[in-house]
Structure 1
Amino acid sequence: MTKGNLAIVLHAHLPYVRSEEPGSLEEDWFFQALVECYLPLLETLEEALRSKDQEPKITIGLSPTLLSLLEDEVLKNRFEKWVAIRLEVLNTSETECIKATLHLRDHLKRQLDSWKNCRGDLIGRFKKLETSEVIDILTCAATHGYLPLLRENPEAVRAQLKTAVREHQRLFMKSPLGIWLPECAYYEGLDELMAESGLRYAVLDGHGLLNADPRPRYGLYAPICTRRGVAFFGRDSESTLPVWSAKDGYPGNPNYREFHRDLGWDLPIEELRKIGINEKRPLGIKLFKISSKNTSLEKKQPYDPQAATESVEKDAENYLKERKKQLIRLEESMQIEPLLIAPFDAELFGHWWFEGPKFLSNLFIQSKKEGIKLITLKEALKVKPQIQLCNPSPSSWGQGGFHNYWLNKSNAWIVNEWSKAGREMISSCSEGLIEESNIKIIKQAGRELLLSQSSDWSFILKAGTTTELARERINLHLKRFWMLINTIKNKSIINSNLLEEIEKEDCIFPLISPIDWKKKT
């Protein structure tokens, strides 16, 4: 057995894309994530648990907004029809990709059976895997708010953290100890608010540890701890680059499924309208392989599932062999067992990289053979008797390594809006002006404020994709926030039907507490 451990950390998150209208683009985001990522991931972990020859171990952060979508009955009731429409398209569309069509049809049917067998209770399945010690479940900030940009009002950061912890407690009947900080973003003093919320560990990008004060003795290969009792792990780029990079890593293998070629773009609009879709957009039906990097989308070759399976087995073997070499090198210069931290967005596995869940499955199968022990973050802390005291450096894992992806000319205007709304929420919750009759209103105002702070919308504005949708979401939640808060300030009466409509659309965080925004005296 190699001396050293590998911790795979997945961040499972979607923004609050609940829609009252079926067939929306936002609904597609969620349902595609279910059939391509979350259901296959559960299947992979459950199969590995049943096998005597595998020791599956991963840490996974389940964001509160994703959990709210997973438990939403309205969305659950639409999922089977959504899958049925895709199966109908596969059954009726003429295509040269026979093997790929049959493979995708089988995949969709299997995921649908998996959904039916648990009656859509994916949260319960995650809970069982944690009880079996296969996974360690982390929380995230309530709506994935980018915390360094909310720090002007510490109460706003506290509300993101405490709302998340409370939601985790409600759904899993236990308090989370770890958190996936949105975008792995850290600023000085955040550990104090984390500790106050009962959160004891998180992952940062590598420079968050390498630039810590004092510099960590073991660099990225052991956790550090602040004086407030919060531990931090550092992302190891050598362990992550081969997996997440489509350009230089495994996902760019010519045999793997092409993400960007989707039947929704290829089908005539008349055929799309027959299934109730009135515009060209991705359906999640992808039948071609990457082929070569220089091949244009229209010239991609049909996907061959068998060739992809053979490639993913080789790539998993290569990944583990390289990690073994890395751990052997580190052993020679360390007095403790080295720890490799490999964090990824969960949707890389299945959505962006269709073969990703099979890659994980092969890691579970082959890790014993290579003598590499897989470990969760919680277990890693238990086996480290002494942890060096350090102050992490401000950082993120976004482009540039700090905060510029979420603070630039495309989205900087939002920060001032968050600050103004945050100050008003703190004032309203701190001055004892909330009468009993206004409790529902202030709670809904808190939901709208949290939803407006989602970093996903800032990311989209910078990336330049579906920017109109992102802008609409931000403005809608802020508009609702100010309408609700002004109702309280002006002691006016809100239309009960309007309040019910807002509560119905943004029915998240049932245990939200205005106390979280109360200024400390």
Structure 2
Amino acid sequence: MTRVPGLFTLVLHTHLPWLAHHGRWPVGEEWLYQSWSASYLPLMRVLRTLAAEERRGLVTLGITPVVSAQLDDPYCLDNMYHWLANWQLRALEATTVASPEALREFGSREHAEATRALEDFAVLWRHGASPLLRELIDAGTVELLGGPLAHPFQPLLHPRLREFALREGLADAGQRFAHVPAGIWAPECAYAPGMEHDYAAAGVGHFMVDGPSLHGDTALGRPVGAGDVVAFGRDLKVSYRVWSPKSGYPGHAAYRDFHTYDHTTGLKPARVTGRMVASADKAPYDPGRAERAVDAHVEDFVRIVVDRLTDESERIGRPAHVIAAFDTELFGHWWYEGPVWLERVLRALPAAGVRVGTLNDAVAAGYTGAAVDLPPSSWGSGKDWQVWSGEQVADLVQLNSEVIDTALTTVDKLHEQTSAVGARPPRDFVADQILRETLLTVSSDWPFMVSKDSAADYARYRAHLHAHATREIASAVASGRGEAARRLADGWNRADGLFGALDARRLPRP
């Protein structure tokens, strides 16, 4: 076996907005349970299998605090169990004599899959995701990437709230996993000049940007400015081979079609068949055909990685670093065969002579180059900030600014009222809930969904709902109605009780 020069890193970004207690269908908790069953359960199974083979440094796994909160939440855990049982029943219904033969066969396979998921969940997941992830981190199978609470678009955030969200997010990961991440996946890969200083102050040593932020030269990580914080760029030539805005493996005719439902059972029994084929004309899913496509795409991806590492190493005159980065939910939720492809790729790359490692491994092995000044950027359309700051979402930008100003002013007032000169104020549940609702208001998901016209009404509803919660509690504080403020904070907390360790006293002072 010929050793390929350099290092390959797979980075997965796991994120959904806070969905618990905020609707069920078509947008709401169903989104969480679909992603959990189709992506998170299979991914955990793959990583545990490979960890048992003592494979190390396989994946750099970003888990946002808001996803961690939901995967550990007792309410979400109970409802996930019911969702899996319902999936099993729907699959059983598809096996009845009244169903077409192709659907009966599909239902039998789906029933076996749902049964396995239920068994996995009952045995491994009933105490949440954190114990499982901690095992993988302890074993060195994955490197954990963290992020700020509630996934805000950081460049547009008030500096005080930006610092608070980042530090609280890292602390949240430390409490759940007994590991404070050394690196982060910045929400939307968004960067503004100077943010590297925030990262350094918070103990973050590296972060992800999209390839164009480094002008496409992603062969090495780059220290940003005069500091030591390293920016790693996604290699678009490799990443887009799997999935891009226009093409990628999941669109292959043999794979299961995401958009075509059997409306009686809610299952997805068709294959893609063709990009221009109407749902009613899609062919039945054929597992054997899909298996052959997976193997072909594994072989193709390994070839692309080997060629890219070889070419980039020759270009820069030293071993290069290639990073492929994706949303975790691509694997399973959007692309049913994705977890199988992922496991086979993680076996095939080392067999082909490719060294696989994490971002931490890259730093330790010196895969860094000359310092660089990064432009304002993101991984959104245009690779700039337009998705989160453009004219289409100008109202949300204004809403965020007003709500943040209200929150900071109110929390400062509460601390002034309860603090003796020079003393730390006692913890204030009202102040905590104000910041909790504010962070949910400024989640980057809402402008993204509006800009992409993806459940835009739901996104606007959620942004305004959390803004209303912030303002309602703050108004009671401003008018001196302390008891009313406490009742309101308690009421909103019943729906939005995530991040229980959030402590408003840690908000940076003006």
TM-score (norm 2): 0.92
| In 2, Cα distance between equivalents of 1:305 and 1:193 | 49
Is residue 120 of structure 2 the alignment partner of residue 101 of structure 1? no
> Which residue in the other structure is 1:50 paired with?
52
Q: What residue identity is the alignment partner of 1:433?
A: E
> Which residue in the other structure is 1:280 paired with?
none
| In 1, Cα distance between equivalents of 2:56 and 2:430 | 49
> Which residue in the other structure is 1:276 paired with?
none
Q: What residue identity is the alignment partner of 1:465?
A: S
CA displacement 1:265-321 (0-9 Å, x = unmatched): x23xxxx8xxxxxxxxxx4x2111001122111110111112212211121111001
Aligned-pair CA distance for 1:78:
1.8
> Which residue in the other structure is 1:278 paired with?
none
Contact conserved, 1:434 with 1:488, CA < 8 A, in 2?
Answer: no
Q: What residue identity is the alignment partner of 2:297?
A: D
Contact conserved, 1:426 with 1:518, CA < 8 A, in 2?
Answer: no
Aligned-pair CA distance for 1:103:
2.2
> 1 or 2 for the larger relative contact order (CA 8 Å, sep ≥6)?
1
| In 2, Cα distance between equivalents of 1:135 and 1:55 | 7
Q: What residue identity is the alignment partner of 1:15?
A: P
Task: Find 1:313's aligned residue among 289, 295, 320.
Answer: 295
Within-5 A mapping of 1:205-284? 205-210=210-215, 219-226=217-224, 227-245=226-244, 247-263=246-262, 266-267=263-264, 283=266
CA displacement 1:339-385 (0-9 Å, x = unmatched): 00111000001111111111111112211221111110011100007
Q: What residue identity is the alignment partner of 1:38?
A: Y
Is residue 134 of structure 2 the alignment partner of residue 127 of structure 1? yes
**Relative to structure 1, is the Cα distance of residues 232 and 92 closer, same or farther in structure 2, using a 3 angstrom cutoff?**
same
Tell me how many residue pairs correspond in the alignment: 493
**Relative to structure 1, is the Cα distance of residues 97 and 247 closer, same or farther in structure 2, using a 3 angstrom cutoff?**
farther
**Relative to structure 1, is the Cα distance of residues 21 and 414 closer, same or farther in structure 2, using a 3 angstrom cutoff?**
closer
Aligned-pair CA distance for 1:87:
1.8
| In 2, Cα distance between equivalents of 1:516 and 1:144 | 18
Within-5 A mapping of 1:418-429? 418-429=400-411
| In 1, Cα distance between equivalents of 2:30 and 2:24 | 9
Contact conserved, 2:9 with 2:356, CA < 8 A, in 1?
Answer: yes
Aligned-pair CA distance for 1:488:
2.1
**Relative to structure 1, is the Cα distance of residues 78 and 344 closer, same or farther in structure 2, using a 3 angstrom cutoff?**
same
Backbone CA RMSD of aligned residues: 2.0
Q: What residue identity is the alignment partner of 1:64?
A: P
Q: What secondary structure is seen at the aligned counterpart in 2 of 1:341?
A: strand
CA displacement 1:14-44 (0-9 Å, x = unmatched): 1000117777841111111111000000001
Q: What secondary structure is seen at the aligned counterpart in 2 of 1:14?
A: coil
Within-5 A mapping of 1:29-44? 29-44=31-46
> Which residue in the other structure is 1:88 paired with?
89
> Which residue in the other structure is 1:450 paired with?
439
Task: Find 2:496's aligned residue among 465, 486, 506.
Answer: 506
> Which residue in the other structure is 1:346 paired with?
328
Contact conserved, 1:428 with 1:434, CA < 8 A, in 2?
Answer: no
> Which residue in the other structure is 2:422 paired with?
none
Task: Find 1:356's aligned residue among 321, 338, 362.
Answer: 338
Contact conserved, 2:65 with 2:169, CA < 8 A, in 1?
Answer: yes
Is residue 7 of structure 2 the alignment partner of residue 8 of structure 1? no
**Relative to structure 1, is the Cα distance of residues 310 and 205 closer, same or farther in structure 2, using a 3 angstrom cutoff?**
same
Is residue 451 of structure 2 the alignment partner of residue 469 of structure 1? no
Contact conserved, 1:55 with 1:364, CA < 8 A, in 2?
Answer: no
Contact conserved, 1:442 with 1:484, CA < 8 A, in 2?
Answer: no
Contact conserved, 1:48 with 1:56, CA < 8 A, in 2?
Answer: no
CA displacement 1:184-241 (0-9 Å, x = unmatched): 0101111111112211111101121128xxxxxxx21000112232110011111101
Q: What secondary structure is seen at the aligned counterpart in 1 of 2:247?
A: coil
Contact conserved, 1:429 with 1:518, CA < 8 A, in 2?
Answer: no
**Relative to structure 1, is the Cα distance of residues 387 and 519 closer, same or farther in structure 2, using a 3 angstrom cutoff?**
farther
Is residue 194 of structure 2 the alignment partner of residue 189 of structure 1? yes
Contact conserved, 1:99 with 1:305, CA < 8 A, in 2?
Answer: no
| In 2, Cα distance between equivalents of 1:319 and 1:475 | 43
Identify the range of structure 1 (83-92 vs 33-42) with the bigger mean alpha-carbon deviation: 83-92
**Relative to structure 1, is the Cα distance of residues 98 and 51 closer, same or farther in structure 2, using a 3 angstrom cutoff?**
farther
Q: What residue identity is the alignment partner of 1:7?
A: T
CA displacement 1:239-275 (0-9 Å, x = unmatched): 1011113743211111100000122xx23xxxx8xxx
Aligned identity (percent) is 25
| In 1, Cα distance between equivalents of 2:284 and 2:24 | 31
Q: What secondary structure is seen at the aligned counterpart in 2 of 1:199?
A: coil
Aligned-pair CA distance for 1:491:
1.6
Q: What secondary structure is seen at the aligned counterpart in 2 of 1:411?
A: helix
| In 2, Cα distance between equivalents of 1:504 and 1:58 | 35
Runs of 4+ in 1 over 6 A off after TM superposition: 20-24
**Relative to structure 1, is the Cα distance of residues 331 and 20 closer, same or farther in structure 2, using a 3 angstrom cutoff?**
closer
**Relative to structure 1, is the Cα distance of residues 516 and 418 closer, same or farther in structure 2, using a 3 angstrom cutoff?**
farther
**Relative to structure 1, is the Cα distance of residues 501 and 430 closer, same or farther in structure 2, using a 3 angstrom cutoff?**
closer
> Which residue in the other structure is 2:123 paired with?
117
| In 2, Cα distance between equivalents of 1:339 and 1:204 | 14
> Which residue in the other structure is 2:352 paired with?
370
Aligned-pair CA distance for 1:490:
2.2
Identify the range of structure 1 (473-482 vs 417-426) with the bigger mean alpha-carbon deviation: 417-426
Q: What secondary structure is seen at the aligned counterpart in 2 of 1:59?
A: strand
> Which residue in the other structure is 1:177 paired with?
182
Within-5 A mapping of 1:460-499? 460-495=449-484, 496-499=486-489
Runs of 5+ consecutive residues of structure 2 not aligned to the other structure: 419-424
TM-score (norm 1): 0.90
| In 2, Cα distance between equivalents of 1:459 and 1:386 | 32
Contact conserved, 1:155 with 1:518, CA < 8 A, in 2?
Answer: yes
Q: What residue identity is the alignment partner of 2:103?
A: C
Aligned-pair CA distance for 1:437:
7.9
Q: What residue identity is the alignment partner of 2:134?
A: K
**Relative to structure 1, is the Cα distance of residues 207 and 247 closer, same or farther in structure 2, using a 3 angstrom cutoff?**
closer
Task: Find 2:416's aligned residue among 425, 433, 439.
Answer: 433
Q: What residue identity is the alignment partner of 2:268?
A: K
Q: What secondary structure is seen at the aligned counterpart in 2 of 1:405?
A: helix
Q: What secondary structure is seen at the aligned counterpart in 2 of 1:340?
A: strand
Identify the range of structure 1 (425-434 vs 42-51) with the bigger mean alpha-carbon deviation: 425-434
| In 2, Cα distance between equivalents of 1:296 and 1:386 | 48
Aligned-pair CA distance for 1:407:
2.0
**Relative to structure 1, is the Cα distance of residues 395 and 443 closer, same or farther in structure 2, using a 3 angstrom cutoff?**
same
Contact conserved, 1:426 with 1:519, CA < 8 A, in 2?
Answer: no
Contact conserved, 1:203 with 1:232, CA < 8 A, in 2?
Answer: yes
Q: What residue identity is the alignment partner of 1:332?
A: E
| In 2, Cα distance between equivalents of 1:419 and 1:235 | 31
Runs of 5+ consecutive residues of structure 1 not aligned to the other structure: 212-218, 273-282
Q: What secondary structure is seen at the aligned counterpart in 1 of 2:145?
A: strand
Contact conserved, 1:349 with 1:357, CA < 8 A, in 2?
Answer: yes
**Relative to structure 1, is the Cα distance of residues 465 and 15 closer, same or farther in structure 2, using a 3 angstrom cutoff?**
same
Q: What residue identity is the alignment partner of 1:134?
A: T
| In 2, Cα distance between equivalents of 1:452 and 1:97 | 43
| In 1, Cα distance between equivalents of 2:251 and 2:508 | 49
Task: Find 1:17's aligned residue among 19, 23, 32.
Answer: 19
